[in-house]
Amino acid sequence: MCSFISYLKIHPIRKQRIQTLFIMNIKIKIILSALLLISCNINPQLLQTVFTFPETMDEISAVEVSQKSDWIWTLEDRGNSPTLYAFNKKGQILNTLIITDATNQDWEDLTSDPAGNLYIGDFGNNNNQRQDLCIYKVAAKQLKKDKTKIAAKISFYFPEQRDFPPKKTDWFYDVESFFILNDTFYLFTKNRSSAFDGTTLLYSVPNKTGKHAAQLISTFKTCDTFKQCAITSADCSADKSKVALLSSSHIWLFTDFKTDQFFTGKVQQIDLENYSQKEGLCFVGNNKLYITDERKKNSGGNLYELDLDHLKP
């Protein structure tokens, strides 16, 4: 040790070089430690942000991509303009389509059929008192125009509901979720009962002009906290093999079902990392989902992508 100190005193230039090397070595170790720490804490986000919607659109309530086009359609819910908006994957607006003969009483979801026709679910019913629940059809050939009339109106009611509104223990008749499959609409209710237990009711309505009694098919329990567990959107994959239900915190993915008994198949609960008011969901093909959330202050208002192939088994 003494000889080393003497060496440094005798050779000041070499002393400076050694000090420089020593400092560099310390910096390298710090950098390597930081990289190791980062690599140990890598937790890839399940939801990848595709783009953020314009600041003027706070209440994004739905998303749909038809099998005939890669346009990403959305709308805003209750009290907003009766307008559909089309985007590309860069978040650029491709078209703004005003529906001239319908009001936005409470638009909540979108779906499309194999021909590319869009359907608007005007069935939001927060207080369970509406008696004008309906679905609007927008013809595929009208989607590139700036204004259009509806091609058809499908009205429906729930035979089980006798009072408008019923007692709060029976507030089961809000709807924010649906899709079309084999020319039938499948609706999933948003449970707003005072004794919320996560139960969603599955109904079917035929794709025919007129007023129909919705047919109750089955029920499913999600989880027991309204804010995290109430169903806000739904869709079926292009190959008809998967059904997905959305809440603000979870996705329930159903497979291996028969006919329209979706809840009898296998179910996988997917927990989403970040909580936000998620309102829209659709399949893009068979293994990818698009999800939207509403903007709250300085967060949300985004389109997200979830690749089901990347989920842990």
Q: Each residue of 116-127: pLDDT tens digit?
A: 999 999 999 999
| Tokens found for residue 141 | 């050939």
* pLDDT number for residue 121: 98
In the predicted structure, residue 184 carries a pLDDT above the cut 60: yes
pLDDT band at 6 (very low <50, low <70, confident <90, very high): very low
* pLDDT number for residue 312: 67
pLDDT band at 47 (very low <50, low <70, confident <90, very high): very high
Which of 66, 56, 61 is CA-nearest to residue 108? 61
pLDDT band at 276 (very low <50, low <70, confident <90, very high): very high
* pLDDT number for residue 233: 98
Q: Share the mean pLDDT of the chain.
A: 88
pLDDT band at 30 (very low <50, low <70, confident <90, very high): very low
pLDDT band at 159 (very low <50, low <70, confident <90, very high): very high
* pLDDT number for residue 79: 87
As a whole-number percent, the residues of the chain with pLDDT over 90 amount to 81
In the predicted structure, residue 220 carries a pLDDT above the cut 80: yes
Of 43-47, 73-77, 293-297, the one with minimum mean pLDDT is 43-47
In the predicted structure, residue 27 carries a pLDDT above the cut 80: no
* pLDDT number for residue 205: 98
* pLDDT number for residue 29: 42
- Give one word for 116, left, alpha or beta, with left for phi > 0 and alpha for psi -120 to 50: left
* Segment 88-101, tens digit of pLDDT: 999 999 999 999 99
In the predicted structure, residue 43 carries a pLDDT above the cut 50: no
Global pTM? 0.86
pLDDT band at 313 (very low <50, low <70, confident <90, very high): low
As a whole-number percent, the residues of the chain with pLDDT over 70 amount to 85
In the predicted structure, residue 17 carries a pLDDT above the cut 60: no
* pLDDT number for residue 311: 85
